[in-house]
Copies of this chain bind each other. A is one copy, B any other.
């Protein structure tokens, strides 16, 4: 299933899919095209979510092992999408109905805010346990959004955080009962009203300049 875009009034809801929603080249291109639509439509907010038990499991390791020579190109695509979401000129919320692992967790962090299902699913940086290093750009993204305490607790340990623990450490901003993640995200966006794209994009670019610059380098 490909990512699909619908609207709740003026808020765009991008469903990443019903599977593991790993970052295949097709997935990345589809998300990128949907973001073009969201901006052209003048949406007042973006919610990304998923319809299965994974928000996203991150990198497409199968594709990578079959296309090792294209790794640099692939990393550039992934980091480019993270940079775009990080500085997206509309308010953004990731609504996690389930697992967010590795680059999937980073995609969630790139949004302005995160809502996570309270009773199931894990937020996790498994890199330290699966022997995958962080690029400086990905580390800059994580540091731009998390406290030093959360970095230590999550990144250095590989620990899996349920929704309530993820909220406690600031990995997510709110939790929600199963099936109400998008509704909760909508409630977070409602009081913000419509923002001028140029201004909001500029402010995010300036505040997250270190991570943004590294991600698009």
Contacts and interface: CB of A to CB of B under 8 A. Distances in A.
A203 B134 contact: yes
- Chain A contact residues: helix, strand, loop or mixed: helix
Given A112-B152, A145-B148, A148-B145, A209 B136 contact: yes
B144 A147 contact: no
Nearest to A170: B149
Nearest to A198: B131
Interface string A129-151: 10111111001001111111101
A156 B199 contact: no
A75 interface: no
Interface size range on A against B: 35 or more
What number of copies of this chain does the assembly contain? 3
Nearest to A152: B112
Given A134-B207, A206-B139, A127 B199 contact: yes
Closest 6 CB pairs of A and B: A133-B202, A139-B206, A131-B199, A139-B207, A134-B206, A145-B148
24 contacts: A91-B156, A91-B157, A127-B199, A127-B203, A128-B195, A128-B199, A129-B193, A129-B195, A131-B196, A132-B199, A133-B202, A134-B203, A134-B207, A136-B206, A139-B207, A139-B209, A144-B148, A147-B170, A149-B173, A156-B203, A156-B207, A158-B192, A158-B195, A159-B191
Given A112-B152, A129-B195, A146-B148, 8 more contacts: A128-B195, A131-B196, A131-B198, A132-B199, A136-B206, A149-B173, A156-B203, A157-B191
